[in-house]
Amino acid sequence: MKNTVLPSLFLGLGVGVLACPAQAQHSPNPATEISGDFRRWLVHVDVANVVTNESADVAVGGAPLPGGSVSMADNATVTFDVSYFLTPNFAINAYAGYPPRAHIEGAGPLAAFGTLASANYGPLTVSGEYHFSGLGALRPYVGVGVTYAVFLDVDDNALSDVSVDNAFGPALKLGLDYDVSERWTLHAYVQQVWLKTDVSATVGGAPASARLTIDPTVVGVGLGYRF
């Protein structure tokens, strides 16, 4: 389900990230200064909302179905990630979340079928991150990586013999840590994943297929811990 608030969230975090170099140039750059109390690990646990930007190209019996598409509701979930800092600014991050349950509804000429299928989907994202410094307790960062999405417990509804392929897609993440102590942080992030997958099924005995675009946007808030 599309949400016009999300571009504003990306814009807000993006302006903060882009402003960081200008502010940071007045402070020492610790990129190559690793102190004795430098902590290489940072773990986040967040409550997140997943907003899908879905569409589909549908074919039945080998012929395209004009106007045929799908709709998916937003999902709440819990995400967690861990970063390993190679330097105080550069980190490698692994990100995952509790697989939410998605109900794929028919849209356009498929709307009369109601729920077509249901599945849990779980992302695993590996990213390279740059964490800006010199801003006191504020530590914004940007990450670019690749997501591997796994689809689990696929159930038939209006469609039969439903199969959903696992898929790869690029990911972009903008985030912010606010240090409340030497180890604990308040955390917020927006992550966009561009994800397409192939779905196959049968309807009334005829083969059906779809090229499904999900493109989830994940907005999360939570806590971080350094060690």
Query: Could you tell me which residues come within 8 angstroms of residue 12 by beta carbon, excluding any fewer than 6 positions away?
Result: none
Whose structure tokens read 């390279």?
128
Determine, yes or no, domain membership for 78.
yes
pLDDT at residue 156 is higher than 50:
yes
Q: What's the pLDDT score for residue 28?
A: 45
Predicted TM-score (pTM) of this structure: 0.82
Share of the chain above pLDDT 90, in %: 82
In angstroms, the CA 42 to CA 30 distance is 17
Determine, yes or no, domain membership for 25.
no
Determine, yes or no, domain membership for 27.
no
Determine, yes or no, domain membership for 28.
no
Determine, yes or no, domain membership for 74.
yes
For residue 189, the Cα-to-chain-centroid distance in whole angstroms is 10
Alpha-helix runs per DSSP H in 25-184 = none
pLDDT at residue 122 is higher than 80:
yes
| β pairing state of 167-179 and 196-203 | unpaired
Q: What's the pLDDT score for residue 30?
A: 43
| CA nearest neighbour of 170 among 151, 197, 195 | 195
Surface-to-core class of residue 178, CB atoms within 10 Å of its CB (0-12 exposed, 13-18 middle, 19+ buried):
middle
Mapped onto helix, strand or coil, the DSSP state of residue 26 is coil
Structure tokens at 49: 């909302």
**pLDDT per position as a tens digit, 88-120:** 999 999 999 999 999 999 999 999 999 999 999
Q: What does the pLDDT average to over 187-195?
A: 98
Determine, yes or no, domain membership for 35.
no
Greater confidence (36 vs 23) lies with 36
* Amino acid of residue 55: S
Q: What's the pLDDT score for residue 37?
A: 75
Q: pLDDT confidence of 204, banded at 50, 70, 90?
A: confident
In angstroms, the CA 190 to CA 208 distance is 35
Q: What's the pLDDT score for residue 34?
A: 58
Here the CATH number for the domain that contains residue 79 is 2.40.160.20
The three-point CA angle 133-135-137 to 5° equals 100
Determine, yes or no, domain membership for 194.
yes
Determine, yes or no, domain membership for 30.
no
In angstroms, the CA 72 to CA 89 distance is 38
Q: What's the pLDDT score for residue 13?
A: 55
pLDDT at residue 24 is higher than 50:
no
Give the chain's mean pLDDT.
89
Greater confidence (20 vs 207) lies with 207
Length of the chain, in residues: 227
pLDDT at residue 21 is higher than 70:
no
Q: pLDDT confidence of 50, banded at 50, 70, 90?
A: very high
Domain containing residue 175 = 5-19+41-226
Share of the chain above pLDDT 70, in %: 84
How many domains does the structure of the chain reveal? 1
In angstroms, the CA 110 to CA 19 distance is 47
